Amino acid sequence: MTGRRTQLIDIGIVLWISFISAGVATMLFFATFDPVEIAQLATFPLTIDRTAGYSLGFLLFWLLLVVNSGAILWLARNGLHRRSVEARGNNTAE
């Protein structure tokens, strides 16, 4: 399963599911915390308005989720365990 199209579909799934999850996370997070007040608590001087706060928050959630699910997909799809499973699968003529 390493065809170019499979990879494109993988990327699509990762991007899309992370996008939806990031949307939910952003909603939950910013309904509870005001980005302006969070910025004031920063350990370095940080001035952002709310729109920038929400936007950056969303993009950050998205990035984290893309990295997370991308890594999971990649690890689950590749590696020794996968090879042995596939070998066994071939022997039993699925």
Partner 1 sequence: MGYTVVALKLAETTLQNSAMSPVEEIPVQVQGTNLYEASEKIYPREAKGIFQTWRNGCVLFLLGLYYLLPWVQWDARQAVLLDLPARKFHIFHLTFWPQDFIFLALLLVLAGLALFFFTAIAGRVWCGYACPQTVWTEAFIWMERWVEGTRAQQMKLSASPWNANKIRKRVSKQALWIGFSLVTGLTFVGYFTPIQQLVVDFLNLEVAGWSLFWVLFYGFATYGNAGFMREQVCKYMCPYARFQSAMFDSDTLIVAYDSKRGEPRSRGKKRKDTAEENRGDCIDCGICVQVCPTGIDIRDGLQYECIACAACIDACDEVMDRVELPRGLIKYSSENHDLGKHKSLWRTLLRTRVIAYATLLAVCLGGFVLGLAARKSFQVDIIRDRNALFSYTSDQRIENTYHVKVMNKSQIDQQYRVGVQGLDQAQVSWLKPELGGASRLVSAGQMGDFSLIVTTPTTNAIQGMQKIMFVFTEISGDKQESIQEESRFFGPRN
Binding site for partner 1 (CB under 8 A): 1, 3-6, 9, 12-13, 16-17, 27, 30-32, 34, 49-52, 54-55
| DSSP-derived secondary structure letter, 41 | T
C-alpha to C-alpha distance for 51 and 57, rounded to whole angstroms: 10
The total of other beta-carbon atoms located within 10 Å of residue 94's CB is: 7
What's the min distance (Å) between Cβ of 39 and partner 1? Answer: 14
What's the min distance (Å) between Cβ of 30 and partner 1? Answer: 8
Nearer to partner 1, 34 or 81 (CB): 34
Residue keyed to tokens 């399963």: 1
